Amino acid sequence: MSLPHRLECRGLAKRFGPVDAVTDLSFDVEPGRVTGFLGPNGSGKTTTLRMLLGLVRPDAGTALIGGRAYRDLAEPARTVGAALEDTGFHPARTGRDHLRVYAAMIGCPDDRVEAVLELTGIADAAHRRTDGYSTGMRRRLNLATALLGDPPVLVLDEPTNGLDPEGIAWLRRLLRGLAAESRTVLVASHVLSEAERLVDDVLVMHHGKLVAAGTLAAITGGDTLEHAFLQRIGALA
């Protein structure tokens, strides 16, 4: 793994027709922390992640990973591991073959495949076709794919979707372990009650704007994140 990477977004904006998906958005995400990128459905989280990953061109602003735009990274797959959605598995491939194909694409040795299968707890199912995987197993395979390049940065969109409580506890341990290795871990979620059990820092979005940023403790002040969020958007008197 290369040096720790800070994420820096400055003045990001994106409009889709009449919809301001993201407006003048600036924030930093620090290495060595799990940062929750939170907010309700449609608040602009995925659009921001897609701008960070070079999948959507911003109308304004910059999104940098270790000081570089995604398109300027020398080894993108070894710098950023992204799990945005559960698509992209060939249904007739086994989990192991899916990972081997991806490993060959990014120039990773096959022993990384076995390592990420172990790390994500799906080694026992690795010989099975992915069309027989449960939603939770697909989340794990998606995460395994993101981890293949041993990246210093992880960007995960709704990683708890489809995980049972035991799976969420497992994910918490995994993300904490990755952050403890000085990785930068950014996790988008609309489920505040789940997210607050996973993260150190929070960025809270509402209608394409950042309404709160800081450590979880500072934002919640000992209350729930949901209560703090409703207060920030003025939904509580």
- Minimum separation from the CB atom of position 7 to ligand ATP (A): 17
Angle between helices 95-106 and 110-119 (to 10 degrees): 130
Identified binder of ligand ATP from the candidate list 2, 16, 72, 110, rule CB under 6 A: 16
Helix (H) or strand (E) holding 14: strand 7-16
Q: What is the largest CA-CA distance in the chain?
A: 57
Does residue 44 bind ligand ATP (CB under 6 A)? yes
Q: State in angstroms the smallest separation of the CB of 131 from ligand ATP.
A: 24
Determine if residue 101 is left, alpha or beta; phi over 0 gives left, psi from -120 to 50 gives alpha, anything else beta: alpha
What is the closest distance, in whole angstroms, from the C-beta atom of residue 41 to ligand ATP in the complex?
Answer: 3
Considering only 28-36, 43-51, 69-77, 114-122, which stretch makes contact with ligand ATP by CB under 6 A?
43-51
Number of chain residues interacting with ligand ATP (CB under 6 A): 12
Question: Count of CB atoms within 10 A of residue 62's CB?
Answer: 13
Q: By CB neighbour count within 10 A (0-12 exposed, 13-18 middle, 19+ buried), where does 194 fall?
A: buried
In the list 128, 172, 176, 190, the residue contacting ligand ATP (rule: CB under 6 A) is 190
Q: Which residue number, 99 or 186, has a Cβ lying nearer to ligand ATP?
A: 186
Beta carbon nearer to ligand ATP, 103 or 143: 143
Q: Are 209 and 13 in contact (CB under 8 A)?
A: no
Contact residues toward ligand ATP (CB under 6 A) are 16, 19, 21, 39, 41-47, 190
